[in-house]
Amino acid sequence: MDIFDVIGPVMIGPSSSHTAGAVRIGRVAREILGRPAVRAEIGLCGSFARTFRGHGTDRALVAGILGLAPDDARVRDSLQLADSLGLTYAFHEEHLQSAHPNTALLRLWGEDNVRCEVQGASVGGGNILISRINGMETQVTGQQETLIVLHRDEPGMIAAVTGRVADSGLNIGNFRLSRPKKGAQAVMTLETDLAVPAPLLDELRGLPGITRVVPIPANRSV
Amino acid sequence: MLDYDSIGELARRAASEAVTIGRLVLADQAEQLDLPQDALLRRMHRNLDVMRAAARDGAQKELRSTSGLTGGDGWRMEQYAASGRALCGPLGGRAIAIAVAVAECNAAMGRIVAAPTAGSCGILPGALLSLLEAGRVTEEQAALALFTAGAVGMVIANNAGVSGAEGGCQAECGSASAMAAAALVELQGGTPEMAAHAAAIALKNQLGLVCDPVAGLVEVPCIKRNAGGVANAFAAADLALAGVRSVIPVDEVVGAMREVGGAMPCALRETAEGGLAATPTGAALREKLFGRGD
């Protein structure tokens, strides 16, 4: 914690958990989709479902899906912005087993019909936990610089990715792999001490078997 | 480097180095973040600018929150304070008006600085901007005072927590009030020890304050508790500047706040199930906004 965690962050109100955290969840989903979303189906659980209008959680999630930051004044008008940018959205109540009370389940589609599904919770103070990506379990908090790598489950994938990260001199503080079944899609998450530089991102994206490489900047730089 | 685990220790260090807590903390944070002091000061000036814009935006007559429950009270209080009739005087009246306006700006999805939280975001702007507008302090002094306030907040966050869900409103508006009280003392030329006493007195006066938001929204009673928080900060700062000492040392007060927060029933910690949220009017408003049932 530093002084700007207490005198800050600068954010759009009214609630760090129901508004600022919700923007961040939407942004992560947008990054995982990897292109502008044209359609969003947004499921809300618990407290999110009960109070979303009063807290602007709906506008916050849509703002995030449009790529806005938690301190962007346009968060307030994001629903109109979505209309003008060609994003259609719909909200529904979602019942998920043992989910955090502030959980959202985002299903996004891009123009080319590429889709993704992201489940995230706003766990307080604007902090988030992304617990599922395309049905695969994750534990992305965004507290550290994080790299999300979607890939085919094949021998050598972990070594190929972590080897290149290590060669660049970056230290990996945490690593996690999730695969629902052998030989299908899998997701790696790596927390690094510093941000992964753009050339390395491009190199990773060029590796065979890699579907998507998504850098999530640490909380304070968002 | 500083540990931020004792407000008393921060005050002693500042006194022994013959600097304000604000200066001590600026130097330490520059070292810890590996950035020049100038860069940190500039960033704090930008926070001050956001606070000023929020005070202006929140004082619009027609302003309404997203739920429609609140808005316009910042404007109302501003008019009244400007009339010169405020019992708290021009400065105190203006401080309360700013605190309400910033909290209403937050409720209306405006841009604010969480200090330490969004729910308590009006208290520090009320304290600092009122002095700035009155020409009693410079921008530089106000920015430095935010380092004083931030240091107090960091110790409270480390030793007790600043979220309503953990510790009730005492942890949000109570902490903000203690932070503002210490900042006000340094702005008035008080010693670091006086600043620590002011923080202690402010926090003691808010001890036990529950978090009971109507319909779970950061509006009722949160907005008016920002007014209470800034008025309490002025009272605590004036007491300390007069030489009044807190019988219970500030770090023990923070410890007591943690204990009290832990002893609070869940219904009084941001769940909107107790206190004002559970009154007939509170329950009726919730039903009107969100319908029946959970």
pLDDT, residue A222, reads 32
Low pLDDT (below 70) residues in chain B: 292-294
Residue A74 structure tokens: 């346009």
Check CB contact under 8 Å for A124 and B165.
Answer: yes
Q: What amino acid is encoded at A36 in this protein? A: P
For residue B284, give every residue at least 6 positions away whose Cβ sits within 8 Å of its Cβ, in sequence order, or none.
Answer: none
Q: What amino acid is encoded at B225 in this protein? A: R
User: Which of B111, B154, B166 would best serve as a mutation to test chain A binding (most A beta carbons within 10 A)?
Assistant: B111
For residue B228, give every residue at least 6 positions away whose Cβ sits within 8 Å of its Cβ, in sequence order, or none.
Answer: B173
Examine the pLDDT at A119 and tell me if it is beyond 70: yes
Give A32-66 pLDDT, tens digit per residue.
Answer: 999 999 999 999 998 888 888 888 999 999 999 99
For residue B16, give every residue at least 6 positions away whose Cβ sits within 8 Å of its Cβ, in sequence order, or none.
Answer: none
- List chain B residues with CB under 8 Å of A51: 215-217, 290
Interface of chain A against chain B, CB under 8 Å? Answer: 1-16, 19-20, 47, 50-51, 53-56, 59, 71, 73, 75-76, 124-126
pLDDT, residue A97, reads 84
pLDDT, residue A221, reads 37
> What confidence tier does A123 reach under pLDDT thresholds 50, 70, 90?
confident
Q: What whole-number distance in Å separates Cα of residue B8 and Cα of residue B15? A: 11
Number of A:B CB contacts under 8 A? 131
Give B97-118 pLDDT, tens digit per residue.
Answer: 999 999 999 999 999 999 999 9
pLDDT, residue A17, reads 86
Q: What whole-number distance in Å separates Cα of residue A43 and Cα of residue A57? A: 12
pLDDT, residue B108, reads 96
Over residues A102-130, mean pLDDT = 93
User: Which of A1, A5, A7 would best serve as a mutation to test chain B binding (most B beta carbons within 10 A)?
Assistant: A7
Q: What is the ipTM of this complex?
A: 0.96
- Of B25 and A98, more confident: B25
Q: How far is A47 from chain B (nearest CA, A)?
A: 9
Nearest to B150 among A7, A12, A55 (CB): A7
Q: How far is A8 from chain B (nearest CA, A)?
A: 5
pLDDT, residue B294, reads 47
Check CB contact under 8 Å for B118 and A20.
Answer: yes
Instruction: Give chain A's mean pLDDT.
Output: 93
Q: Which residue from B minimizes the CA distance to A12? A: B111
Q: What whole-number distance in Å separates Cα of residue B47 and Cα of residue B141? A: 14
pLDDT, residue A34, reads 92
Give A127-160 pLDDT, tens digit per residue.
Answer: 899 999 999 999 999 888 999 999 999 999 999 9
